[in-house]
Amino acid sequence: MPTDTITIFDTTLRDGEQSPGCSMKTAEKLEVANALVDLGVDVIEAGFPIASPGDFEAVQMVSRQFGDRATICGLARCRREDVDRAWSALKDAERRRLHVFLATSSIHMEHKLKMDEQQIINTAVEMVKRAVDYCEDVEFSPEDAARTELDFLCEVVEKAIEAGATTINIPDTVGYATPSQFGSVFRHLKENVSNIDQAVLSAHCHNDLGLAVANSLAAVGEGARQVECTINGLGERAGNAALEEIVMALATRGDYFQCDTRVNTDKLFPTSRLVSSITGMKVQRNKAIVGQNAFAHEAGIHQDGWLKEPSTYEIMRPEDVGVPGTDLVLGKHSGRHAFGDRVKLLGYSIDDDVFQAVFKDFTALADKKKDVYDSDIAALIDNRIADTPDHWQLVSLHTSAGTGTIPTATIELQHDEQTIRRDAATGDGPVDAVFRTLERITEIDARLEDYEVRSVSRGKDAQGEVLVEIVVMGRHYHGKGVSTDIIEASALSYLKALNKVVADTQVNEIDA
């Protein structure tokens, strides 16, 4: 049935990482890149190399480690130094792509770039040529294309292809387009650009009006053969088009789109979990495809129909996207082998060191709670995967609280493997006391922006998961902690966020 394969261009590590509070360390980016390769995406946009030394390093490491299994892409403005820097980050990848962009809407040209149409064309052509000199795979994006005057857009696109661009990406940078209008931009390009057949057309949509996926699919309907998207729809402001939604729309409605992708759809759910865990950006419960409720049938009449024949109310099966079907219960008598099978079934491929660590966590947990569910296991794995070496580690925690007493916390933290520091503080409650103590020890002045507790699985002995968001010097940081003790989970999540602050400051010191 499908006649064309759509190139899936993932920009979780570039556009997704630009969303507030979602910055990732290089080790975390490599974890995500590894998952993206397993997922089967075609192109990984790994970063914007000139933006910072950290970005450069991440693109270079992703290129070296995964450049033989996916095309690795680096972003550059239309400036010589940008293109050169992007190239030196990418050059070790076997498959690599340079992505240059320049705004073409009158609002951007006048106010941001202060360039006229001819200058825009000349600059775009010059920089595409520079990129082509380095590498045969070159993508050009006329930024804010959705608000660009169509005749001018055609002219820029034609000149960029003439200069050697092999992919032309049409970004709806501000999320302004609507589906039929965005589709008509692609039709117009197909009809009016003489050399359009020499390049792949691509869509890059933002979700400010909740239309990113709809607009991307409209573009596919009009001939786009690449879609740029992110896991969980991560991205600036309201985010980018969600990869899992694009892929499953094409998979489920192949009859309509006549297109497919190379994505292994049963890896979608584990990849979503991993990205959520690393960035601390939780997935909303009713999110399509990967939300907790995406496959839950609550209404009686639906349940009845679904039990008789799943296809009555189910257009996709949970296992198609890697949601574990049966929630088998493990306990303290479950051996290494049963545990290993479960880990595989949950969609994780983890190396031996991580497996050993997670198995130890599992046996410790099984001592504390009777039934260990899939969600518990996933939480343990996520915790270990996201566990990059931390500046501060929790050694011990003691709190006292109750009616008529002043809530107090006493904490010991290990600092860089040698020193142990301890302190105590009081607060409005035990959690507040814990946070104040952690701030005293780490000497970081943070403002708590968001605090949320939820249970990972069911039962009174369920593990609690705490998500925090803090603000330090105007920047947002997320942290997550899991424990059967909510106070401990709170401490771990806050510490995780504080460790990100430390990592960030260290990077900035290198910057300066």
- Interaction site with Zn ion (CB under 5 A): 15
Alpha-carbon span 346 to 326, nearest angstrom: 10
Q: Using the minimum distance from each CB to Zn ion, give the nearer residue, 212 or 377.
A: 212
Q: Using the minimum distance from each CB to Zn ion, give the nearer residue, 210 or 335.
A: 210
Contacts with 270 (C-beta within 8 Å, 6 or more apart), sequence order: 35, 322, 346, 347, 348, 378
For residues 230 and 247, the answer to whether their CB atoms sit within 8 Å is no
Q: Using the minimum distance from each CB to Zn ion, give the nearer residue, 156 or 323.
A: 156
* Torsion angle in degrees (nearest 10) through CA of 324, 327, 329, 335: -20
Q: Using the minimum distance from each CB to Zn ion, give the nearer residue, 15 or 17.
A: 15
Rounded to a whole number of angstroms, the minimum distance from the CB of residue 240 to Zn ion is 6
Rounded to a whole number of angstroms, the minimum distance from the CB of residue 227 to Zn ion is 13
- Tell me the β-bridge partners of 102: 142
For residue 81, count other CB atoms closer than 10 A to its CB. 10
Helices within 369-477 (DSSP H only): 374-385, 430-442
Q: Using the minimum distance from each CB to Zn ion, give the nearer residue, 240 or 277.
A: 240
Amino acid at 21: G
- Tell me the β-bridge partners of 73: 45, 97
Rounded to a whole number of angstroms, the minimum distance from the CB of residue 143 to Zn ion is 9
In the DSSP assignment, the letter for residue 12 is I
Rounded to a whole number of angstroms, the minimum distance from the CB of residue 98 to Zn ion is 17
For residue 316, count other CB atoms closer than 10 A to its CB. 16
Q: Using the minimum distance from each CB to Zn ion, give the nearer residue, 107 or 338.
A: 107
Alpha-carbon span 18 to 237, nearest angstrom: 9
For residue 215, count other CB atoms closer than 10 A to its CB. 28
Rounded to a whole number of angstroms, the minimum distance from the CB of residue 223 to Zn ion is 21
Q: Between vectors from CA 221 to CA 167 and to CA 149, what angle results, nearest 5°? A: 60
Alpha-carbon span 240 to 219, nearest angstrom: 15
Q: Using the minimum distance from each CB to Zn ion, give the nearer residue, 19 or 499.
A: 19
Rounded to a whole number of angstroms, the minimum distance from the CB of residue 363 to Zn ion is 44
Q: Using the minimum distance from each CB to Zn ion, give the nearer residue, 10 or 15.
A: 15
Rounded to a whole number of angstroms, the minimum distance from the CB of residue 171 to Zn ion is 6
Q: Using the minimum distance from each CB to Zn ion, give the nearer residue, 158 or 172.
A: 172
For residue 199, count other CB atoms closer than 10 A to its CB. 23
Q: Using the minimum distance from each CB to Zn ion, give the nearer residue, 32 or 491.
A: 32
Q: Using the minimum distance from each CB to Zn ion, give the nearer residue, 168 or 492.
A: 168
Rounded to a whole number of angstroms, the minimum distance from the CB of residue 459 to Zn ion is 42
* Torsion angle in degrees (nearest 10) through CA of 295, 296, 300, 303: 40
Helix 352-368 vs helix 374-385: angle between axes, to the nearest 10 degrees? Answer: 130
User: Could you give the C-alpha distances from 403 to 309, 397, 431, 436, in angstroms and in order?
Assistant: 55, 20, 15, 20
Q: Looking at beta carbons, which residue is closest to Zn ion? A: 15
Q: Using the minimum distance from each CB to Zn ion, give the nearer residue, 15 or 28.
A: 15
Give me the residue label for tokens 């030394």.
53
CB environment 368-381: b (16+ within 10 A), e (fewer):
ebeebbbbbbbbbb
What order do you get walking across the sheet with 475-483 strand by strand? 447-455, 464-472, 475-483
Rounded to a whole number of angstroms, the minimum distance from the CB of residue 470 to Zn ion is 26
Rounded to a whole number of angstroms, the minimum distance from the CB of residue 133 to Zn ion is 26
For residues 358 and 380, the answer to whether their CB atoms sit within 8 Å is yes
Using CA of residue 232, residue 238, residue 239, residue 242, what is the dihedral sign?
positive
Rounded to a whole number of angstroms, the minimum distance from the CB of residue 62 to Zn ion is 19
Rounded to a whole number of angstroms, the minimum distance from the CB of residue 14 to Zn ion is 8
Helix, strand, or coil (residue 72): strand
Alpha-carbon span 230 to 44, nearest angstrom: 10
Q: Using the minimum distance from each CB to Zn ion, give the nearer residue, 15 or 465.
A: 15
Rounded to a whole number of angstroms, the minimum distance from the CB of residue 189 to Zn ion is 19
